[in-house]
């Protein structure tokens, strides 16, 4: 389990983070991508999982919608290990024209 002093959290985010906005409030986050290769008996799939690392914020919850890279994104999972920093997993919010 990782544990950070608040000064360490801000040093990390100030060094590597970029500004995101949720409900008119800016915050710093580090955007990350994790790639997966899933191999089955009939086919294989290569996919990506998108998330950002930020100071833990009780206002950011599963179902929260943010604009990231000019697209609406919805948080679908949060990894909070109680260190003061959490990983927020997100995916695109599709509108009717994208189905």
Q: Exposed, middle or buried by CB within 10 Å (0-12, 13-18, 19+), for 56?
A: middle
**Is pLDDT above 60 for 99?**
no
| Model confidence pLDDT, tens digit, residues 47-62 | 899 999 999 999 999 9
Which two three-digit tokens encode residue 32? 């990350």
For residue 26, list its beta bridge partners.
21
pLDDT tier, 23 (very low <50, low <70, confident <90, very high otherwise): confident
Model confidence, pTM: 0.83
**Which residue is listed with tokens 């919805």?**
74
Question: What share of the chain has pLDDT > 90, as a percent?
Answer: 57
């Amino acid at each position: 389990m990782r544990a950070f002093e608040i000064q360490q959290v801000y040093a990390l985010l100030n060094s590597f983070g970029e500004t995101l906005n949720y409900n008119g409030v800016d915050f710093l986050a580090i955007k990350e991508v994790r790639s997966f290769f899933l191999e089955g008996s009939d086919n294989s799939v290569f996919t990506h999982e998108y998330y950002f690392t930020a100071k833990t914020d009780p206002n950011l919850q599963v179902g929260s919608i943010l604009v990231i890279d000019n697209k609406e994104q919805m948080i679908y999972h949060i990894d909070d290990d109680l260190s003061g920093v959490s990983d927020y997993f997100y995916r695109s919010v599709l509108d009717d024209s994208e189905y």
